[in-house]
Amino acid sequence: MVTPTGTAELDAITARAAAAFPIWRASDAATRTGWLRALADALDGAADELVPIADRETRLGETRLRGEVGRTTGQLRLFATVVEEASYLELTVDDADPSATPPRPELRRLLVPVGPVAVFSASNFPFAFSVCGGDTASALAAGAPVIVKAHSGHPELSRRTAEIAANALVAAGAPDGSLQLIEGREAGNALVQHPVVQAAGFTGSLSGGRALFDLANGRPDPIPFYGELGSVNPVVLTPAAVAARGEALASGLAGSFTLGVGQFCTKPGVVFVPAGAGFEASVAAAVAETSGGALLTDRITDAFPSGIDALLTDPSVDELARGSAGPDGARPIVLTTDAAAVAERPETLLEEVFGPVTLLVRYASDAELHAGLRAVPGSLTATLHSEASDDVADTLALLEARAGRVLFTGWPTGVAVTWSQQHGGPWPATTSLHTSVGATAIRRFLRPIAFQDAPERLLPLVLRDAALAGLPHRRNGVLRVPAQD
């Protein structure tokens, strides 16, 4: 049960975060990475306690949840290496040049943390996108204390995770107030409007995220709101791909859209398939072997059949196949329509439905395919399955315009936590052009500042020449990377 955070308590929490911020901002790389790794170690050590709580509240299963703990601690350790490597600071120097026209002063630039950050937990990843998930890890790595708004779907897990995390940080030497938790929708609304908070990260519904986005922008001092909101993740199969490996593609699609009972933000929700190629029969056979499962919350459980019914009200939509429901579970379902209908009624046919459903969209020509793709809203991913003989340049250009990550083999469910990952896309997938997964996620919680003709003794340590000799930086336009041992 959620225990709403009151106004006085929220003010005390934000005050502690404000007091912790100067210590985080001033922390050197060795200190900050030590705090991050101590947090990762504490979560790994508490997995046997936390996983059963998570399973009881989310019903995601021990195997999935233990893997998610590993992903969560892995990304904390990744951000420790990001801090050590230091290129995220974007250290840049232009030496003074009095002969330039106009004369050029000395300028030294770097990125600094914005201040305390609000993080809104997701329902579908109770570890990796929750209290100590990617938003929290990247904010702490940037040097920003975090206040997490717990998700109502797993309150007990959120409280215990926050307690373990806060204690681990303090034990490692971080200040009190480094990571704190609040509960309740009203407290979340107040948090994003609180003057102490300088940025927010969110993963959740389009309606909830848009409401918070508007609150963040409606402040007297608007702040950046990094929301991951909704995504249909289009997939295109060419006729040649279906002819070459149709059964394998059908099996892969069935496994992907039912993974996690269809509750991944990268679920392939709209799949463009060549008309008359036999792919629908292959999908029907593959889906018949799948089974559903319990959805995360009562709200999601109630919304799933309503979303299916809304699609079926369109005259172009038919039901192709269903899997088995499983005990107390949502039943996987495949629907079909055509590209012309999608182009005409995207507001109905391209509405995201959270759960194990996908929509096959038949196309008879490249013109039909491209008209349908132009109606697809921004997504986290887009997938193209083609063969070497295909001319797919125009199709690829349309997919690139609609997604932050384009796949050419496999399926979009599963997001590697790496230096090069991009997990974000055009609206409504996200409210920004940044990523919420991978090393570059740290950029969301940093701002640039330049120092002009500053005495060396007043410069940040990392901008002084002695420190720059051992750090990646750009000087007078030339990138300089220290020699590696």
Active-site residue identified among 228, 280, 352, 368: 228
132 belongs to the catalytic site: no
CA angle 66, 69, 70 (to 5 degrees): 90
C-alpha distances in angstroms, 171 versus 39, 48, 160? 10, 21, 16
CA angle 87, 436, 306 (to 5 degrees): 175
C-alpha distances in angstroms, 51 versus 14, 29, 68, 76, 311? 29, 31, 9, 18, 36
Residue 77 CB neighbours (<10 A): 18
* Phi-psi label, residue 131: left if phi above 0, alpha if psi -120 to 50, beta otherwise: alpha
Is 272 within 8 Å of 241 (Cβ atoms)?
no
H or E, element range at 133: none
Give me the amino acid identity at 469.
A
- In 223-348, the DSSP E strands lie at 225-228, 234-237, 270-274, 318-322, 333-338
In 3D, which of 93, 195, 199, 194 has the Cα closest to residue 143? 199
CA–CA dist 382, 384 (Å, integer)? 7
265 belongs to the catalytic site: yes
C-alpha distances in angstroms, 272 versus 25, 246, 316, 340? 48, 13, 15, 12
In 3D, which of 66, 202, 218 has the Cα closest to residue 139? 202
Active-site residue identified among 57, 68, 132, 265: 265
Tokens 């049960």 correspond to 1
In 3D, which of 270, 229, 283 has the Cα closest to residue 429? 229
Give me the amino acid identity at 48.
D
Is 141 within 8 Å of 442 (Cβ atoms)?
yes
CA–CA dist 446, 463 (Å, integer)? 16
CA–CA dist 392, 366 (Å, integer)? 9
Enzyme catalytic residues: 228, 265
